Amino acid sequence: MSSPSTPESRAANLRWLILLTVIIGTFLGRLDQTIVNLALPKIIGDFKITVNEAGWIATAYILANAVFVPIWGKLGDTIGRKKVYLLGFGIFILGSVLAGLSWNLSSMIVFRVIQAIAGSADYPTAMAIIAVTFPAGRERAQALGIWSSSFAAAAVFGPLIGGPLIDAFNWRAVFLINLPIGIIGAIMAMAFINESTSEKKTVKFDWWGALMLGGALASLVLVLDRGIDWGWLSQKSFATYGAVLIFSAIFGVIERYHPEPIIDFKFFKSNIFVQTLINNFILFMGLMGAMFLIPVFAQVFLGYNATETGYLFMPMAFAMMLAAPIGGRLTGVVEPRYVIAVSTLIAAFGMYLFSFLDPRSGPLDIIIPVTVMAFGMGVGMAQRTNVIASAVPQNEIGVASSILALARNIAGAFGISVFATILNSTIKTNIYNLAANSTIRATSQAQFAQGIGLIELKAQIAAYDRVFIAAAILLFIGAVSSLLIVADKHAADVEVMVE
């Protein structure tokens, strides 16, 4: 006969149900970002638009998402994280349905912006909900690590879910699928999540600061997304650089004198907060900057289709979900900086393994590096997130987590732009060098064209190698820099407040 459950066991079970609830929301939001890319070819055909025009479907989402993350974080701390979480969830479901019913490019962009604004509420509020639900220490680190692994899971399962949906129905299904899943997540949130707010109530919301930050972030993400097409030294790019500087300068002045700034610069006085933020930036810049090339390589040079490429990334999700709890269990046993350093080194090694890819590579040549890299990233994920959560007062976790989300989003956009630029410039250089040092002995136009094609192929393969090695070096630098994550007096004082 089983013993009756105690109040303590019921509370523990409820905590894990809350974690499952926010994982559903995070998974759904990140899944939408990856799954929509598969639908773009069909959308282009239906709306009769160009590839460049279709790019705004993704750009508009990224811009709106980046701008509203800190606003939602501040509002969550002020009016209630559960309220903000449910509000964002509800609007996201509405935006998804509208996007699935869109009739042209303009309507699609508007509805994607609605989705992005709502989706940006998830990260800061979800992290704050987990931080106040789980006590500080190992259990919180495990919970944050498991939650963080849902990011990778969404990136992997996006192609696996999206491909069959598009093939069986049409591109609208990738938006409409959010409705039933979203309703389940919203019901769970209403049932399980407890309301929590900051002890310090906002009296005067920093709207001007939010507006200037939004302008700076929108300009930055815009130039990172469009800089390759415009040219980094073009007039459009320089005008956008100027906008970033102007908006940022005004934002800095406003935040310095506003009694309740949307981003409190006092966080940056903490060594542990700043160094962890730097490590996160380097990690996501390297990973996102290089990882977006793997599906391209698999499909262009290895001949896989979208669904087959998605299968190659399945071990990535499992490796990260396995590694995240392991990293969480190390909390209080090993100093966070050593766990973060080793995990980043493992990720760097996995990235380096990609440099051996060539047109003769098989599935294991992608699966093994992806698994190694994901395992390394997963081991340190709990520690990174927990360090941020423990380095600030509990009533400001929402704002701090929004800063972390901003750093990751900007790092991803920055990495994609930088590594895409490295790839393109390296391909051009390689073609020039190979052409200058090659002799094509052809007796027909077809043979000559084949020789040119081989030069271009070799130039592209060598360029991919260069990008993966550059990303591995960047991650190695991130591993070394993470050794600087040492709790200082400010962080120690704050951690006492949290506990």
| SS3 readout for 278-308 | HHHHHHHHHHHHHHCHHHHHHHHCCCCCHHH
What gap in Å lies between CA 80 and CA 199, rounded to an integer? 11
Looking at the fold, whether 287 and 255 belong to one and the same domain comes out as: no
pLDDT at 164 over 70: yes
Instruction: Give the pLDDT of residue 492.
Output: 39
DSSP assignment string, 390-440: HSS-GGGHHHHHHHHHHHHHHHHHHHHHHHHHHHHHHHHHHHHHHHHT---
Please report the sign of the dihedral spanned by the C-alpha atoms of residue 10, residue 16, residue 18, residue 24. negative
Give dist(CA 70, CA 62) in Å, integer: 14
Say how many C-beta atoms besides its own lie within 10 A of residue 50's C-beta.
10
Same domain (yes/no): 230, 370: no
Claim to verify: residue 161 and residue 251 sit in the same structural domain:
no
Rounded mean pLDDT of 408-436?
75
Statement to judge: residues 27 and 43 lie in one domain: yes
Flag whether pLDDT at 177 surpasses 80: yes
What is the identity of the amino acid at 273?
F
Instruction: Give the span between the Cα atoms of 284 and 423, in whole angstroms.
Output: 18
CATH code of 274's domain: 1.20.1250.20
One domain, residues 286 and 377: yes
Asked if residue 412 belongs to a domain, the reply is yes
Task: Identify whether residues 352 and 276 lie together within a single domain.
Answer: yes
Distances in Å between the Cα of 390 and the Cα atoms of 127, 195, 380 are 12, 20, 15
- Name the residue with tokens 């509990």: 394
Contact 262, 321 (CB under 8 A): no
Is residue 55 one of the residues assigned to a domain?
yes
Are residue 431 and residue 414 in the same domain, yes or no?
A: yes
36-56 average pLDDT score: 75
- Burial degree of 376 (CB within 10 A; 0-12, 13-18, 19+): buried
Q: Which of 40-54, 137-151, 275-289 has the highest mean pLDDT?
A: 275-289
Does residue 449 sit in the same domain as residue 484?
Answer: yes
Q: Pick the residue with more confidence: 275 or 2? A: 275
Q: In the structure, what pLDDT confidence band is assigned to residue 345 with cuts at 50, 70 and 90?
A: very high
Residue with tokens 């209630």: 80
Q: Looking at the predicted structure, is the pLDDT value of residue 8 above 60?
A: no
Quote the Cα angle for 343-348-358, to 5°: 140
Across 23-32, 164-173, 224-233, 356-365, the highest mean pLDDT is recorded for 356-365
List of residues 6+ apart from 443 with CB closer than 8 A: none
Percent of the chain with pLDDT over 90: 7
pLDDT tier at 200 (50, 70, 90 boundaries)?
low
Domain count for the chain = 3
In this prediction, residue 453 carries a pLDDT of 59
- What are the backbone dihedrals phi and psi of residue 258, each rounded to the nearest 5 degrees, phi first? -75, 135
Q: Residue 358 falls within a domain, yes or no?
A: yes
- Average pLDDT of the chain is 77
Q: Is residue 29 part of a domain?
A: yes
The reply to whether 1 falls in a domain is no
Considering 153, 177, 201, which residue would you say is the last residue of a domain? 201
CA distance 399 to 153: 25
118 lies in the same domain as 26? yes
- Based on the fold, state whether residues 237 and 356 are members of the same structural domain: no
Same-domain status, 249 and 297: no
**Shared-domain flag, residues 274 and 237:** no
Average pLDDT over residues 309-337: 78
Cβ atoms 478, 411 nearer than 8 A? no
For residue 346, give every residue at least 6 positions away whose Cβ sits within 8 Å of its Cβ, in sequence order, or none.
372, 373, 375, 376, 379
What is the predicted pLDDT for the residue at 493?
40
Confidence category of residue 437, pLDDT binned at 50, 70, 90: low
pLDDT average, residue stretch 17-40: 78
Could you tell me the residue range of the domain that residue 252 belongs to? 206-259
Strand segments, DSSP code E, in 118-200 are none
In angstroms, the Cα distances linking 137 to 270, 274, 385, 498 are: 19, 20, 12, 11
- pLDDT interval class at 306 (50, 70, 90): low
Most confident of 135-144, 177-186, 282-291: 177-186
Terminal-to-terminal C-alpha distance of the chain: 38
Residue 405: its pLDDT value, please? Answer: 72
Q: Is residue 2 part of a domain?
A: no
pLDDT of residue 491: 41
Name the band, by pLDDT with cuts 50, 70 and 90, for residue 203: low
**Is residue 102 situated within a structural domain?**
yes
pLDDT band at 36 (very low <50, low <70, confident <90, very high): confident
**What CA–CA distance (Å, rounded) separates 164 from 236?**
40
What mean pLDDT is predicted for residues 64-88? 77
What are the pLDDT digits (tens) for 218-238?
Answer: 788 778 777 777 888 888 889
Write down the pLDDT at residue 372: 92
Residue 3 domain-assigned? Answer: no
